[in-house]
Structure 1
């Protein structure tokens, strides 16, 4: 197996309850077709981004078996030549708890791997920056970071971090006041898989404990994307549609 190949785990299941106006609280957000002018489902645009970044192997993780044929129908056969994508179903869609499922580790093999969601959109530059950091600094993980709107602060917990004088992340934690949060996509060197699996077996595969463990063994790099939209509101959907139509996501 080619150890230099990057494997991508794309979490796409769920019922789309946060934007039920678009999904009917049944269809995953990643299958939303935003408008007649943006005719493909959201996940197709992210697959296109990954293909442009040179990714050849993608595992789409869904919540239920009945979702598999729907995704296969929605993603046109032959739309991404040179990319192999397969499907797996998992009882949980938390980005790290899914690693308790053997399909995930079998798919990754001995490769570096990226974990992301099918309903987020980010500028192509973030993948290049993350891959560069992973190689240059011998880091275990690079994470996307974006600013949260003030309207989401009330009652929310945000992820914060501090750096040493070399720019390395040395501590992470929670805050009620910070306006930034670490978010997928997460890019890992293969050696991080052991840490994730240990947490998954202990039923504690949450973001902060895992990233804290990784800081203890290697540096953590945080990348601020030029554009990242986490689709949780109707306004987010409009922002994604606008970005696609303007061509920002293809730059």
Structure 2
């Protein structure tokens, strides 16, 4: 699933491509992908609207239109493509926004897990999807004091805590592994067993890794590309994720992989005590 750096890269690309475009038709080919609003009402609300800006909150893309905001979650394999109206529509194209300039923003999703929801303009904070999201890791709202309080309240594994979007928004499986490695903490450690020094290392690693990942366009693993078809580059910086059996870049010990709450989890048994 694309994580915050990947979604931010998609957002930045879309922000270059679609503001100023006016919607004159919406085609919903898979109705279940529209949530909280009947698909017919979703279509009716959007026709005639102009896209003003594309924002992000956690792993959600936010399209600000003239009178409303669309929330879009890519889930595992959702992708946006800006196409000419005459370009072939593939079988995995499920939602189409047709613009007056004869271009189309198409949403493709092999697994059909992606979702879209329309709300009042700038009203995303009142939706069920976003209401409980924690702070963004690259903003002043992400503070060591609040992070430490949240970590100390749970006996869950620290990696599981990092994946809790109420603690910090946007961290997923890839970056949680990398954060734990950078902080020299085993991912299965009970969060409330961590020392203040370890919590501080995790906090700082979260900020530094997410900052670099955003700068490099995220990690291309499996099928992720941005809205212009470009790959992310942070996968070249990964130190443990997907490196099972390879030598640790620090000590040379083979990287191990375990299942933690159903998720593949990578770590160095020597560097992460």
Q: Which interval holds the TM-score relative to the shorter structure?
A: under 0.3
Q: Which structure has greater helix proportion?
A: 1
TM-score (norm 2): 0.24
TM-score (norm 1): 0.25
Higher-RCO chain (CA-CA 8 Å, sequence separation at least 6) = 1
